[in-house]
Structure 1
Amino acid sequence: MISEKRTWPPLLVFGLAFLFLSVLLNVIYPANSLFSWRLLLPSIDVWLLLIPMAFAAGCGKRPLFWTRLTVWALFLFLRLLRIGDTAVPMYLNRPFNLYIDSSYLFGLYDLLRTSSRSGDFLLLSVIAVTVALGATASSWYAWQMAASALAVDRLRLVFLGGSGLILGAALISGSKPVEPPALVRLGQEIRFVQKQLEQQQAFVVRLEQVARDREAHPFSLKGLGGADVLLFMVESYGRIVFSRPQYRQAMAATMDRFAKVLDQQGFGAVSTYLLSPTFGGSSWLAHSTLESGLRVGNDLEYTLLLRSSLPPMAAIFHKEGYRTVSVMPGTRFAYPEGAYFGYQQAYYARHFNYRGRTFGWAPMPDQFVLDWVRRQEFDQREQPRFVRYALISSHAAFNIQPPFITDWAAIGDGSLYNDLEPIYFPIYWPDLKNAGDAYLRSLDYEFAILGDYLTKYVTADTMIIIMGDHQPNVQLTGAGESWSVPVHVISRNPRLLEPFRKRGYTPGLIPAQSPPHAGMDTFLPELLEDFR
């Protein structure tokens, strides 16, 4: 134990360490501006972490070392927690959930790697690693300096005495900080684990009840009359394109062109909005909600669904004599979860034998996907088809997009894309506020290829369903936007559209329904009821 008459040098060291650690924890990232006067505010979290270290300093060097190591690790964890609390609401429009969102780290890495140019990603990686190592090393040194200062008897006693007075006064007066400390947030996350387990149990009860009801009241799809059903899930196609004036004008022009193409070929269309279970990402939650007829709100519920006996959409279609096909060109890794969804044939990225270049996160353009599946599945039609497409050319960050190919016969194995210049937009993670034009162009591309494809290749009696999976991220939508997505049902056969009209779908391609909207989980039960 150290005893010093002069406490100014240790006090200076302690103050500088406290200030540096406060600044490091106060930095808000991601954000437009990383620097402000708020960085200099004393951090309650740093202060609270210093208290156990002060007690350990009075017990000797060994307890102080292990306490310092524990406090340092907890400090780094709190820093990561604050990044999650900032980033998740910015992109997914919901609070950060440590229990669930920690599993997305590899997906985030893959998204950044594939949606950035190679040189940009390398630079970003170097900067990120450098900053991370710098913060780790410098914070360790700062905690070491604080520990050495607290080993001084007089300074330690003054700090503990002052801390006791401040805490006592706060408890007596009932004062609370303007923003909850990160340590409080960590406690909330720990308590949430128990709450999440209770919610899982409730979800299992609902899951089992829906499965029993569906088994007790079996449905047929005879009302479809053997018509093909093509379900297109369009990535990031959200209500925002019709609800915000800055998007609505451009999107109205896109839909007007799409409508004219459909009208020329005798297609009719009705539209509505449905409420997606997710926002800005996690498309699998929307897919599983739609195909199970049960709202799946997070990955824990998703896992429970995959283990259940609830028959999904494809299994019901298969039972009624349909060949069921899943088209997921964005799935580049092993996907054992796909077995639950019951498709007879599933096409993932590796099945397409694509020979062209990639376009950001999308390993191939959707136009190539449509053409390839047509050649595989529709050149010969021995039974009706139910095909679910996951279209991905409108995936964030929208910065690298494919051109439209007018001659479908030239697409082949996709090698022609190697000779075509992609369409680039100056968009860089994590800032997507300037991505509006790129986002709209990606949707314009989707509806251009869909219009051309439907009019050239869909000749049989067919029901076409086009649905967004979720809204784009909050930087494009703004705060307070609903989680709703557009849904369009298209067919040359008015009989196939009539049940949707009766349920309130409006004629045309621009939905007119005001919130609140029914959930995406209502689509399958209503389809089974209307076409039994």
Structure 2
Amino acid sequence: MPVSTKEPTADEPTPTQPEAEKAPAPSETEHEDVPAAAPPPDEPAAADGENPPQGPPAPDDESDTGGTGGSKNPAEGEAEAGRRRTLRWTLTTLSAALVLATLLLPNSLAALRPNRFTRIPAEAIVGAAILLSLPRRPRTIAAALAGTTLGALTILNFLDMGFQEYLGRGFNLVLDWSLLDDAQSYMKDSMGEATTLTATIAAVLLAVLLLVATALATVRLGNVLADHKERAAKATLIAGTVWITCSALGLQLAGLPIASDRAVSALTMQARRVQNTLRDEAAFAKEAKEDSFGATPAAQLLPDLRGKDVIFTFIESYGRSAIEDPIMAPGVTSALETNTESLDKAGYKAKSGWLTSATYGGSSWLGHSTFLSGLWIDNQQRYRTVTSGDHLTLTKAFQKTGAWDTVGIMPGIQKGWPEASFYGLDKVYDAFQLGYQGPKFSWSTMPDQYALEAFQRQVHSKKRDKPLMSEIILTSSHQPWAPIPELVDWDDLGDGEIFDPVQKAGKKPQDIITDTTKSREEYGKSIVYSVTSLTQWLERYGTDDTVLVFLGDHQPIARVSGNKASRDVPISIVAKDPKVLDNITTWNWTDGLQPAPDAPVWKMDTFRDRFLTAYGSTPHPTKN
């Protein structure tokens, strides 16, 4: 319907408003209470559902004025937004740094240097490309899983560092979890229960925190990539191109390749360890059943040692470094020379050589079992396999003949030890059966001098119908080498209480445990103490028929022996009867207690067969 443009006259009502309904003109006093009939020409009418303009806004009770009215300060709002942006980018930067650090972290303390973290990790580039291609939910899940994996890999790298430092090898996912309990027991004996508990709780909390932090960091980075998808995709492509170029050209920065795949290599290494361990378990079980002397009749075992009292003694951590390291060697070599002269005056002669131990820095039982079984026992699974079987050990060969009584002196054993039957020991004296009432010396339950005197008093001095074969473990040279016992008059040893003031006056483990030089110095002193205790016992209580074989079970930890130290340990055979040493003339060992640098070096597992053969044993193999 067309709209009329004719304007009404003053006497006519408008077509749309009857005269009776005409509103009176508002008065001056009513104007503010009556809303306008229509918006001003320059303001649009309110849209449907919106309130028309009402004049100045009402005060905002939630504004920065604290509820007293007034508007929010724009400057303060902008500052708050700036703080939030700074926090977001700080968290993003920290997340990126954490992820890059876990991707590039080495697995040894020697490699923990700044140049390790100046590389481009391939895993970060591939991970970014994958996260950019995923929708939000799958991206979050994938990022969380990747971050948790990085955290677990970092924990394994730290375990590798610890095992390399103490045992000279990496952590084995299959076999080494039980050693963590042994490490805790060692700390408790060395540093006290409170320190051990604190360290254990802290280690567990840090491990959990690391897993959570790497997961959250990776999720955050995934979200940042998604928020800047176009620029992130370009950056990922550029980074990938740079990585490939650096890899192809072999470019280096600070002595290391710029292109890195460290995380993948670490995972591959761990997987290979697991695979090799599982394969080795089956192969070694077959090897342990084969024995070149396993079927030798009793009468054909060790005929040239019949009538002799034979003592096999292991000196804890007595390694080649003790004789060759410039810090430790002067004291140790001087003691070896002095003790050689003293034994010579007492009528004893000695020959010495080198053996390469199956272990390093710890796990002494692996060295003991390797030496005595003639099998290479370099991990816990092999140890369990061989000790659960009937493979002939060197000590068991003496028992098998029926011509010797066999005994073990084990001051380091503080719980049940079922391996005694495997080693062929008729009787074992542990830490609680040697009558010691004195103080502990860190991990060592008693000084070596006391253990040897207890052996003399309870075993060696007793009359018997047969000669004696003894295995003795000396522990005073066990880390942390503080406090160290001192030699006292043998007649004053008593029940060991004489060592109370010695222990109290000695150094504390925490005083030397983090100081490499002090650790080396104290380690050298402990070796001098152990070797001197043993040779003095031999001078004092040995007879014309005593044959002493003593050796180290392994080198000390890398912090003391050095990162590139060998696994060699000294071994000596001492006797009065010249025929005993004549039987090993072909070994070309060095005269005296100190092996020459060029003396023969044999693997430790070869000693059993060499010894049995040298003293007249006839091989009769058993086969799998």
- For Structure 1 versus Structure 2, the TM-score category normalised by the shorter chain is 0.7 to 0.9
SS at match of 1:272: strand
1:498 aligns with 2:582: yes
Among candidates 155, 160, 165, match of residue 228 of structure 2: 155
Which residue identity does 2:454 align to in structure 1?
W
Measure how far apart 1:171 and its partner are.
5.4
Task: Check the 8 A contact 1:30/1:430 in 2, yes or no.
Answer: no
Q: CA-to-partner distance for each residue in 1:174-201, whole Å, 9 max, x for gaps?
A: 5475654233211221133223333334
Among candidates 462, 465, 476, match of residue 560 of structure 2: 476
Give the alignment of 1:147-186 within 5 angstroms: 147-150=222-225, 153-156=226-229, 158-159=231-232, 162-163=235-236, 166-167=239-240, 170=243, 174-175=247-248, 180-186=261-267
State percent identity of aligned pairs: 25
1:14: which partner in 2?
A: 92
SS at match of 2:409: strand
SS at match of 1:330: coil
1:74: which partner in 2?
A: 149
1:4: which partner in 2?
A: none
Structure 2 CA distance for aligned equivalents of residues 103 and 178 of structure 1 = 37
Which residue identity does 2:409 align to in structure 1?
V
Structure 1 CA distance for aligned equivalents of residues 549 and 481 of structure 2 = 24
1:392 aligns with 2:467: no
**Which structure has the larger Rg over C-alpha atoms?**
2
Structure 1 CA distance for aligned equivalents of residues 561 and 457 of structure 2 = 38
Among candidates 386, 406, 409, match of residue 305 of structure 1: 386
2:44: which partner in 1?
A: none
Measure how far apart 1:353 and its partner are.
4.6
Give the alignment of 1:285-300 within 5 angstroms: 285-300=366-381
SS at match of 1:487: strand
Task: Check the 8 A contact 1:398/1:435 in 2, yes or no.
Answer: yes
Measure how far apart 1:30 and its partner are.
7.8
Q: RMSD over aligned Cα, in angstroms? A: 3.4
1:351: which partner in 2?
A: 433
Give the direction of change, closer, same or farther, for the CA distance of 1:143–1:171 in structure 2 (3 Å limit). closer
SS at match of 1:340: coil
Deviates more, 1:40-49 or 1:350-359: 40-49
Which residue identity does 1:487 align to in structure 2?
I
Q: CA-to-partner distance for each residue in 1:459-491, whole Å, 9 max, x for gaps?
A: 351100111111112222224332111111111
1:403 aligns with 2:486: yes
Mark the runs of 5 or more structure 1 residues left unpaired by the alignment: 1-7
Give the direction of change, closer, same or farther, for the CA distance of 1:272–1:323 in structure 2 (3 Å limit). same
Measure how far apart 1:493 and its partner are.
1.3
Which residue identity does 2:152 align to in structure 1?
F
Among candidates 332, 345, 367, match of residue 264 of structure 1: 345
TM-score (norm. length: structure 1): 0.86
In the TM superposition, structure 1's runs of 4+ consecutive aligned residues that sit over 6 Å from their partners are 8-12, 27-30, 32-35
Task: Check the 8 A contact 2:311/2:469 in 1, yes or no.
Answer: yes
1:317: which partner in 2?
A: 398
2:532: which partner in 1?
A: 448
Measure how far apart 1:359 and its partner are.
0.9
Measure how far apart 1:170 and its partner are.
4.3
Which residue identity does 1:451 align to in structure 2?
T
2:284: which partner in 1?
A: 203
Task: Check the 8 A contact 1:397/1:427 in 2, yes or no.
Answer: no
Structure 2 CA distance for aligned equivalents of residues 33 and 502 of structure 1 = 43
SS at match of 2:95: helix
2:412: which partner in 1?
A: 330
Task: Check the 8 A contact 1:116/1:428 in 2, yes or no.
Answer: no
1:103: which partner in 2?
A: 178
SS at match of 1:350: coil
SS at match of 1:269: strand
Task: Check the 8 A contact 2:406/2:469 in 1, yes or no.
Answer: yes
Structure 2 CA distance for aligned equivalents of residues 148 and 180 of structure 1 = 24
Which residue identity does 1:391 align to in structure 2?
L
Measure how far apart 1:434 and its partner are.
3.4
Structure 2 CA distance for aligned equivalents of residues 207 and 216 of structure 1 = 16
Q: CA-to-partner distance for each residue in 1:239-272, whole Å, 9 max, x for gaps?
A: 1222334433222211122123212321111111
Give the direction of change, closer, same or farther, for the CA distance of 1:334–1:25 in structure 2 (3 Å limit). farther
1:215 aligns with 2:319: no
Give the direction of change, closer, same or farther, for the CA distance of 1:22–1:98 in structure 2 (3 Å limit). same
Among candidates 158, 161, 169, match of residue 86 of structure 1: 161
Which residue identity does 2:306 align to in structure 1?
G
Task: Check the 8 A contact 1:82/1:182 in 2, yes or no.
Answer: no
Give the direction of change, closer, same or farther, for the CA distance of 1:324–1:52 in structure 2 (3 Å limit). farther
Structure 2 CA distance for aligned equivalents of residues 310 and 484 of structure 1 = 25
Task: Check the 8 A contact 2:356/2:601 in 1, yes or no.
Answer: yes
Which residue identity does 2:495 align to in structure 1?
D
Number of equivalences: 520
Which residue identity does 1:474 align to in structure 2?
A
Q: CA-to-partner distance for each residue in 1:133-156, whole Å, 9 max, x for gaps?
A: 654554455345335435xx4424
Bigger relative CO (Cα 8 Å, ≥ 6 apart): 1
Structure 2 CA distance for aligned equivalents of residues 179 and 514 of structure 1 = 42
2:187: which partner in 1?
A: 112
Task: Check the 8 A contact 2:360/2:554 in 1, yes or no.
Answer: yes
TM-score (norm. length: structure 2): 0.74
